[in-house]
Amino acid sequence: MRSLLWTLAPSLTSQIHRPPETEDERHDAHEVAPFGVHEEWNWEDAEKRLQRAYEEGGLPLWTKIALREVEAEARLERAKREQEVRESDGKANAT
């Protein structure tokens, strides 16, 4: 997804990956979607955060929060897969 976005919209990608320019930008992004693992992450809540980000900061803040949401979903999926692997290894060792 990132390489497709980079290819199709390089100027947007450079805006997404730039660090916050001001302390206010840093605070706004952290307030809408704080860093950390969202163990109970779901798309319904993510959509609410994205809507809030767009209303409060327009497209620039929305793109930052969208990237965080995609990364949070990926972390959750990796954790689920790792748990499945551990469980299947445990079952294989038990037999």
Residue-wise pLDDT for 37-88, tens only, equals: 455 788 899 999 999 999 998 998 999 899 989 888 888 888 888 888 888 8
- Distance CA(57)–CA(13), nearest Å, equals 17
Q: What are the two backbone dihedrals, phi and then psi, of residue 39, each rounded to the nearest 5 degrees?
A: -65, -25
Across residues 7-18, what is the average pLDDT?
61
Cβ-contact 12, 63 below 8 angstroms:
yes
Across residues 14-38, what is the average pLDDT?
61
Domain segments of the chain as ranges: 2-94
Largest distance between two CA atoms of the chain = 58
Q: Write down the pLDDT at residue 51.
A: 94
